[in-house]
Chains A and B, each alone.
Chain A
Amino acid sequence: QVQLVESGGGLVKPGDSLRLSCEVSGFSLSGHFVSWIRQAPGKGLEWISYSSASGDIRKYADSVKGRFAVSRDNAKSSVFLQLNSLRVEDTAVYFCVRHGCSSEWCELDYWGQGTPVTVAS
């Protein structure tokens, strides 16, 4: 069955960096866009980035542009999100999410369980 499993979250200080990983199984990663979506404590959902199926196209929300970087290794069935210059307002659960087709214009059909990131001094 389709699974996405995030890891790498934790407690860091403002200005620190983290690298989140998302390991997928049950489908071919090379056939799907993958987005990262976050949810601050008690708040709604915010899309922050996607990686195209081949990894050559990446898009970011303005709130993280220049600080976060998405990448992938299709051979290892993994997607990564590098979080740099972290701010208190980046505190959230980060979800790795599969697009339901090989395009950016798709519903988000499978979600990982999320990995929490807390930024505090």
Chain B
Amino acid sequence: DIQMTQSPSALSASVGDTVIITCRASQNLNAWLAWYQQKPGNAPRLLIYKTSKLESSVTSRFSGNGSGTEFTLTISSLQPDDFATYYCQQYNNYPLTFGGGTKVDIK
């Protein structure tokens, strides 16, 4: 199985900050990496797919980058609606696997 390691597991930030979340895979993902946002009591929501493609209706303040085994999610100009938990997920191999999550809360 491909192991996905996210860092940090939690962070505190202020409205307007830029936040970067890192995801490392135990093997090459060939860019098959997605990012999801989840708020308490809700299902995850797709933000980014194939490393850097923005899902339709998702604000351009979210961006993805990376290659091989190292990937990042950047949230620019953090807004109150962005405080949530973020997960990376690989779909290069089965079983699909997710990172442990990064909780972004208000400083």
Partners in one complex: yes
Centre residue among B42, B94, B100 by max chain A CB count within 10 A: B94
Q: Tell yes or no: A16 within 8 A of B by CB.
A: no
B94 touches A111 (CB 8 A): no
A81 to chain B, nearest CB (A): 16
B45 touches A45 (CB 8 A): no
The majority secondary structure among interface residues of chain B is loop
B94 touches A104 (CB 8 A): yes
A109 touches B95 (CB 8 A): no
Q: Tell yes or no: B11 within 8 A of A by CB.
A: no
A44 touches B101 (CB 8 A): yes
Q: Tell yes or no: B46 within 8 A of A by CB.
A: yes
Which residues does chain B contribute within 8 Å of A111, judged by CB atoms? Answer: 43-45
B11 to chain A, nearest CB (A): 17
> Interface residues, chain A, CB within 8 Å of chain B?
35, 37, 44-47, 59, 61-62, 95, 100, 104-114
> Interface residues, chain B, CB within 8 Å of chain A?
32, 34, 36, 42-46, 49-50, 55, 87, 89, 91-92, 94-101
Q: Please list 29 pairs of residues, one from A and one from B, whose beta carbons are closer than 8 Å in the complex, sorted by A's number.
A: A35-B96, A37-B96, A44-B87, A44-B98, A45-B89, A46-B98, A47-B97, A61-B95, A62-B95, A95-B44, A100-B46, A100-B49, A104-B94, A105-B91, A105-B92, A106-B91, A107-B49, A107-B50, A108-B34, A108-B36, A108-B44, A108-B89, A109-B49, A109-B55, A110-B46, A111-B43, A111-B44, A113-B43, A114-B43
